[in-house]
Structure formats: structure tokens, C-alpha cells
Amino acid sequence: MCGRFTSRTTGIDLAQWFGVDEIVARDLGQRYNIAPTDDTYAVAESGGHRRLGTFRWGLVPFWAKDLKVGAKMINARAEGLLDSTAFRRSFERRRCIIPADGFYEWEHISGKRKKQPWYITRADGAPMAFAGLWDSWRPPEARDGNPDDADQRVRSCTIITGPPNERIASLHDRMPVVLPPDAWDAWLDRDNDDVASLQGLLVPAPAELFELTPVSTAVNTVTNDGPELIEPVEPVSDTLL
């Protein structure tokens, strides 16, 4: 799964990296501990233009009665997208890329109460392109045409996870799907309804793409959010180094 990640690259640099035509996101600053329901950047297409926007992490389906459902939908399993009432529509028409500079995973250490957090980045330092889905939600009362609720639209997203590569498998049995650059056009194209070929993109990224760094348990607390969270520490276990 993916329960925490970082976003340190500026919106301007992300727009250049992902070939964005327009930035419609507000400046989120540098984030070292993005948690469920936090806002994050995402790249999506609209009207044939690629845009960098601000989305709430945790997909809220358009038909949901309450925003709270999004806290349970931060990840979408690649294998079940077409079977999910929450994700199928977005998989067919509303796909996005969620940029991340890294994500955290926790290693269970035999005989230890606390798990060892690891910070996972690309070895070349470039931003990752998480495969994501998005949706647009309004409160039920706004759907009935109440003019006072016209600005209550919430755009939300979820990170697609799949089986891990051999490196990440030492930590968890799931990992975010990281799309290579040559898959971005097909993934973002809203006219692309070939779900079979799209599912073919949802494969584990190569193990050699990643670098793992042991970090402190300070990341366990969602209110902690600073560069100290990604500083290397002496790991309880060195099996992944």
C-alpha cells in the first residue's frame, strides 16, 4: 500500500517534468509527510490540455453522501479496478498522475515492538509518477441546485497499488504503481478507453529504479512534517541495505 509520501519538487518544476500545459494548482509548499485527506498535486487532462492541479488524497466518488468516505480510499488495487463501483468510472475516464519525490514503508522487525520506517525514492532523484485516479464530488444539497453550495466541489484522487518488485517485497506485499515516461500519454488520454491496454501498464517498476533509506520513527506522527523526516538513521535491521 501507500500510506505516506513526500512532495518536495515545486509546482513549476513538476509542470516542466510532466509536460504540463497549465498550472491550476495552488502552491502546496514542500511536504515531507503527506497523509490521507491532505491536499496534493496531480496531473490530469481536460479538454486536451494537461494540467497540474490540487486534489484531496482519498478518492470520494461523485455519488458519495459524505466526504469522509475518502479516508478509506487512498489506494486502489490494480487488480480490482473494473470490479469496483468506486473506481471503475474513474479508471475508464478520469486517470491522473500523482507526483511524489518518495514514499514511506515500514519493515517489521522480529522481536521489536516498533517497525523500522524506510524512505523510498528513485535512485536518480527524479520525481515518481504514481498511477492515480480522480473524481469530482459535491455535497448532496449542492447537487440539487442550491446556489449557496456552488463552490463546494472537491476533486480527489487515489494511488493505484499493485504487486511489489523484489526489493519492495521485503517490506510489503503492495507498492504504488510507478509509470514510466513512455506510458504517461496513454494513461492521461481521456479518449483512451482501451482498459485492457491500460491494465497492462499497471506493473511493478524495476527494483533497480529505487533507493531505500532508513529513517526515524518521527514519520509515524502525521503532524511531523519537515526535512528531518528523510534524514538517514542507523537501521534496526540492515537486511535491505
What cell numbers appear for 197 in the block?
491496454
What cell numbers appear for 87 in the block?
473506481
User: Has residue 94 got a pLDDT over 90?
Assistant: yes
Catalytic residue among 96, 105, 107, 157: 105
- Length in residues, the chain: 241
Amino acid at 150: A
Res 152: pLDDT: 79
| Three-class secondary structure of residue 128 per DSSP | strand
Lowest mean pLDDT of 7-11, 22-26, 42-46, 234-238, name the range.
234-238
- Side-chain half-sphere of 67: how many Cα atoms within 13 Å? 12
Res 59: pLDDT: 98
Give 103-133 pLDDT, tens digit per residue.
999 999 887 788 999 999 999 999 999 999 9
| Under 8 Å between Cβ of 100 and 128 | yes
User: Has residue 239 got a pLDDT over 70?
Assistant: no
Res 143: pLDDT: 63
Res 235: pLDDT: 84
Per-chain mean pLDDT for the chain: 94
Across the range 80-91, mean pLDDT stands at 96
Across the range 63-85, mean pLDDT stands at 96
User: Has residue 147 got a pLDDT over 60?
Assistant: no
Active-site residue, 105 included = yes
> Which pLDDT band, with edges at 50, 70 and 90, does 18 fall under?
very high
Catalytic residue among 2, 45, 96, 157: 2
Distance in angstroms (rounded) separating the CA atoms of residues 123 and 212: 9
Give the residue extent of every domain in the chain.
5-230
Name residue 154's beta-bridge partners.
137
CATH topology of domain 5-230: hypothetical protein yedk fold (3.90.1680)
Res 180: pLDDT: 98
CA dihedral 183, 198, 103, 136 (to 10 degrees): 110
pTM of the entire predicted model: 0.94
